[in-house]
Every structure is written in C-alpha cells, then in structure tokens.
Chain A
Amino acid sequence: MTFEEIHQKLLAKFPQAVQGIEETVPEKSLKIHPEHIVSVIRFMKDEMQFETLGDLCGLDYPALSASCVAYHMQSYAHKKVVRLKCYLPREGAAIESVTSLFKAANWLEREAFDMFGIRFNGHPELRRILCPEDWVGHPLRKDYQTPDYYNGMPVPLYFDNPNESTAGNAHK
C-alpha cells in the first residue's frame, strides 16, 4: 500500500478530515483536521491494518503560530509507517485523546503535554511525566526560557558566554 493509496482511501472515507499532503522529503505527511483525528485513527486501525501507534509527539511552529501533534501509524502487515499531522492554535492547544484506541498514547500524550503544553481531552491522568510536577513552563516550546531558580535552587548554566560553544546555547 503506497502513500498515495492511503491518502486516497482516507480522502474517500473522510473528505472533510484530510486537509492535504505535506510534500516533505524524504517522507510525506498527511494533514488531518484535529476534530476528526480519533475517527481517522480508528479507521486506520480497524480497516487498514495499521495495528500500532508507533509514536506520538508534539511540535512547535512559532512562525506559523501553531502547535502540532504528529502521529506515526505503524503497520506490520504493510511494513509501513504513515505520519499524520494535526495543526492546532499555538495558545491553548487542545485535541481529543487517542488513549481509547491505543494504551501507548497514555504516556506519549503525557509527554507531549509536559513538553509542549498541548492538552488532550479525555486523557485519564494528564500530568507531567519527565519534568517534576511543579515545573513551570513547557521546555520544548521554542520560546521557552530556562528559569533562574527551581524551588530556591539555582538552575546551572554551564557556559557564561553562549556564543563560545554550541552546547551553551541549549539554555538560551
């Protein structure tokens, strides 16, 4: 099953949901309307033999003022991975959770929430997973500023001059 066949099949079933193809190299992605993501993924799982959610992660596009959730649907039958992308408004991003379809989504969505602040409606326990519970901010957003203090402890900056080393930029 080629990417184009998958696109056509989804387009025939969900004309409003499929918003188009992102022509990226080496792999393309399918743009899906956030409102229909659960039904699209359910259809892919039940009817198109995409048995597994290979990955779910967030992305941040300040230039488009959008947050994005990328779903990697993985099929053992077709030996293929297909990427679905849902663009959300950058502020107050929220999308329906797919935990009802894949148990893997539980932790993956928690991570996307932790790192990007994307809310997943219907998630059983949406709380931080990698950062401490009382951490402020969502670190993988492009405008994230490292706090100077965490619970009264100074957050170390390893390089005084961030221009001296590429690694020092990690904190800016």
Chain B
Amino acid sequence: MSTTHELVEGHLSQSLENLRTDELLLNMGPQHPSTHGVLRVVVTTDGEIVKAAKPEIGYLHRCFEKHSENVDYMGVAPYVDRLDYLASMNNAMGWAIAVEGMVGIEVPRRAEFIRVITAELQRIASHLMSFGTYGLDMGAFTAFMFGFRDREMILDIFEMMSGARLLYNYMWVGGVSRDITPEAIAKIKAFLDYFEPKIDEYNDLLSFNKIFIERTKDVGVIDVDTCHSYGLTGVMLRGCGVKWDLRKEVPYSIYKEVEFDVPVGSGEMGTLGDCWDRHIVRMREMKESVRIVRQLIDNIPSGPHRGKVGKVVKVPAGESFSRTECPRGELAFYIVSDGSAKPFRVRCKSPCFLNISTLDELTRGVMVADLIATIGSLDIVLGEVDR
C-alpha cells in the first residue's frame, strides 16, 4: 500500500502530464480600465508570460483629417481640441502656430504670454492625469484622487478664462479668444503657491514608493535607437536620456525668453529608459512648468489679446509642417493649402500613434502585470491615436 506522500506525488505527475500548455489568446479592451481609452490589445500569453501584444486601434476614429478639408481654417480649431482631449490647449496652440506661420500673422505679445501660461498649466493638468492614472494602474488609488483634485483647480481656471472646462476653443488664429482677467491671474498665482510643494509630496507618495519602484524599474526599457526608429518624441525620448525639447531646441512663441530646464531620465532606479524614468520626467516637467508660469504671470504686457485677423483666415497657397511640444510628444500639423478658404489637406502627426506602435516590441516576453505598467507609462490618449 502506498503512502499518502506517494499518492500525492503520483496525482501531481499525472495532472502535470494532462496540463494544457498551449498559448492563450486574450482580448484586452476595448473597454478595459487600464487601456486609458478605447484601445484593444490582442495578447497572446503563455501562462503569465506575454508572447505578443498587438494593439488594434481605430475605435475612436472621427475623421479629423477629412473634416478639416471641409471647413475653413478657423473651423478646424474646435476639432483640434478634441484630438488629445487631456491637452486641448497645447493642441490648439499647435494648430494656431501652424496657420499663423503660413499666413504670416503677427501675434500680439499679450496673447503670446497668455498662450504660454495656459499651455504650461495644461501641461501640468495633463501630467497630473498621467500621474494619477499610472498610480491607479499600479494599484495606488490615492495618487488618482490627488491628481484629479489638483487638475480640477486648473480646469476651474480655464473655465474662468474660456468658459469651458475641457474643450476650450481658446487659442484662435492670431491670438486668444478672450482676454485674461485679473481674477484669473490671482487664481493662477494662488494655484502655483498651492501646487509647487505638492509635487514633492506626490513624489514621496508615489514616485519613491518602494512598491511603485519595484513595479516600474527595469520594465518597458526603450533605448535611443528604438526611439529614433519608431520616431518617438517628447517624454519617451527624454526618458532615455536625450535632452531634446522643442521648446528649447527650436523655440516657438516666447519660450526663448523663459528659463527652464529639460529633465531627462538617468536610470536612477534601474535601467535607463524604463517606465520609472518616464514617470519621473513627467513629475519633474510639472515643476519646470510652474517655473515658466511664475516668470510670466507678473509680467503680462498690456495690449490687444488678438491680432488683426479677418473673419475668414486667408491662407496663401503653400505647404507647411509645423511642430510643437505637447505633453505627449511632438505634435505636428502638415497643412497643404491651394489658396482657397478651406485646406486642401491637413495631416496631424500624432505622437501617441507612434508611442503605442512600440507596445508589441516592448512587451515581448514580459509578465502580464508588466504589460499594464508599460501601457501606462506610454501615456496614450486614444483621441489622438485615432484622430
């Protein structure tokens, strides 16, 4: 008669023989909390190991480029807000700069100041969202609450300035739609005083949290060559140590006149270019944005808030490719004009589109939990991926 031990052993070896080891096809999304929107990832798993992760996009395709060919240049501006709906101000600024460059419109200095202030506040709001949702992905709920609480204050300021909370239609060709009021300036100052110490608090809470570091270090590592091959820009590029920021290198608007640093990843916690590096670059960029707004908020010159632009913007025939630094990378508009009231072709080069295309390469052979960490660190907005 066999002992209990032998019985268990026999049973175990038998069940191991019958164990199914074939790959499992897992459909993640389009409605999945950690895909940050309607992204679908077809994941092939072998147990806990990801064999392949193919992103399927297009669920939020709203024909931006087709619509643009059928409305005039001012009419495109509200559509542009809806690309990256977490950073509407930055998108709209990109569009305004692209059109102004083609027409040769001089933007009043007061408008430039207001633009940069709002764009940097929007960058903070966007990074706060990224910080919050990334915390949520990693199982830290408090970060999400804190991020949303502070973002709400920025949205309040924007509501004061433009009348809307999310999609502002604020940056118009030639300037901004409404002047900034003293009340809004006071509110921005109060926000800066409140927010600046909070960044350190959030770093203590999440960025230097041992569990968070363990989840994100050495995960989703991108090197410079991969970045260039995939055309990655913005935080993705800076995360792997390249000091490249369009605001610094090819300055537009009044970024030449303000002082700020470009934070880059340095592999502090693990490998250079891992998820943690990208996260910390975002956190440090918020500090720089506060610095930029502080330099400008007290010195807004008087004058008009919009240049002399007719009701219909007349764009001469030509082609222009204009890039701006958005929170998620370099957003570019390629405009082809044939001299008529409507654009002949508008092409939006979206940074998120290229960011998410790296997913398959980044997550080959990692654990399923690391797949979530990687998607979160790419900080994609599907509105911009699908356009």
Contacts and interface: CB of A to CB of B under 8 A. Distances in A.
Interface stretch (B199-207, B294-302, B345-353, B371-379): B345-353
A119 B347 CA distance: 19
Contacts of B67: 167, 170
Contacts of B269: none
B353 A107 contact: yes
What is the interface of chain B mostly: helix, strand, loop, or mixed? mixed
B334 A72 contact: yes
B230 A103 contact: yes
Contact of B58 (A24, A102, A130): A130
Interface stretch (B35-43, B116-124, B167-175, B317-325): B317-325
B332 A25 contact: no
Task: Give the interface residue-count category, chain B.
Answer: 35 or more
Interface in A73-93: 74, 76, 79, 81, 83
Interface in A126-172: 128-132, 139-140, 166-167, 169-170, 172
B357 A102 contact: no
Which of B332, B347, B357, B361 has the most A CB atoms < 10 Å from its CB? B347
A135 B386 CA distance: 16
Contact of B57 (A24, A57, A130, A169): A130
Nearest to A106: B357
B58 A104 contact: no
A24 B349 CA distance: 20
A104 B357 contact: yes
Contacts of A26: 101-102, 318, 320
A55 B317 CA distance: 21
Contact of A131 (B61, B250, B357, B361): B61
Interface in B201-234: 226, 228-231
Contacts of A74: 231
Contact of A81 (B57, B58, B102, B321): B321
Nearest to B330: A54
Nearest to B242: A76
A97 interface: no
10 contacts: A52-B231, A55-B332, A59-B336, A60-B345, A70-B334, A102-B231, A104-B230, A107-B357, A166-B75, A170-B71
A-B pairs, top 6 by smallest CB distance, nearest first, are: A104-B231, A55-B349, A25-B318, A130-B58, A170-B70, A169-B70
Interface of A: 22, 24-27, 29, 51-55, 57, 59-60, 70, 72, 74, 76, 79, 81, 83, 102-104, 106-108, 115, 128-132, 139-140, 166-167, 169-170, 172
Given A24-B318, A57-B347, 7 more contacts: A27-B318, A103-B226, A108-B354, A139-B66, A140-B66, A169-B71, A172-B70
